[in-house]
A and B are shown apart, each in its own frame.
Chain A
């Protein structure tokens, strides 16, 4: 079955995981990943994002790129909920190695349509072992 047929047919929903392991501005990977996630959101799939290694730096709050002449794309992560991208797995060990705590991350939320549109956090802190399980459950993994 072609991918197009698969995506459009009933019950063809697959689990997609976008793996984010790079810091935001030194390379183009983080921005490219975010753009692909937004494009992919049109396909009504079961989408998750994983942030580990230097990828956790992508969602650190207080980013201000005025002086480096690059677009600050960090606010876009907060819009992911509107595209039904509501599962952002963040690895605790990666935060700790980088001197970060969950309080250093942006508040990223979504409105749960199955719960009277209650606002809920999109970030799910997981251990390295838990993240391995999340990866093992996927149908498709896209790495950036």
Chain B
């Protein structure tokens, strides 16, 4: 399954709830304000790093750039995708769940 998260992890429990329900092998794509969860050294970074082995984590590049987040500040193991990569992820997974 592919999960997309578009809310800031500091403002809403959306991201936490996604991680609580995602199953090993699932993919999580961070978009819009969700990309703030991808940054190193934050209050939620430990939680993200813990999931790295079990989940495939992605962040949408255009949303990172818009927010001034540099590639180098991402948590290790998170892959950056562009809009084409977003489409590929949706096509690769039978089911997508948008966590709003």
Among the interface residues B6, B11, B40, which one has the most CB atoms of the partner chain A within 10 A? B11
Interface of chain B residues 59 through 83 with chain A (CB within 8 A): 61-63, 65-68, 70, 73
Judge whether B56 is part of the interface by a CB distance below 8 angstroms.
no
A-B contact count (CB 8 A): 69
Interface of chain B residues 13 through 37 with chain A (CB within 8 A): 32-33, 36
Q: Per-position contact with B for A20-34: 1 when CB-CB < 8 Å, else 0? A: 001111110000000
Nearest CB on B from A102, distance (A): 14
Asked whether A70 lies within 8 Å of B66 as measured between CB atoms, the reply is: yes
Chain A: interface secondary structure?
loop
Which of A25, A65, A70, A104 sits near B33, CB closer than 8 Å?
A25
Among the interface residues A22, A54, A60, which one has the most CB atoms of the partner chain B within 10 A? A54
- Bound-state CA distance A24–B66 (Å) is 9
Residues of B within 8 A of A (CB): 6-8, 10-11, 32-33, 36, 39-43, 45, 61-63, 65-68, 70, 73
With A63-B66, A67-B66, A97-B42 known, 19 other A-B pairs at CB within 8 A are A23-B67, A25-B33, A25-B66, A26-B8, A54-B11, A57-B36, A57-B67, A60-B67, A61-B68, A63-B65, A63-B67, A64-B65, A65-B65, A66-B65, A67-B65, A68-B62, A68-B63, A97-B43, A98-B43
Residues of A within 8 A of B (CB): 22-27, 53-54, 57, 60-68, 70, 72, 74, 97-99, 104
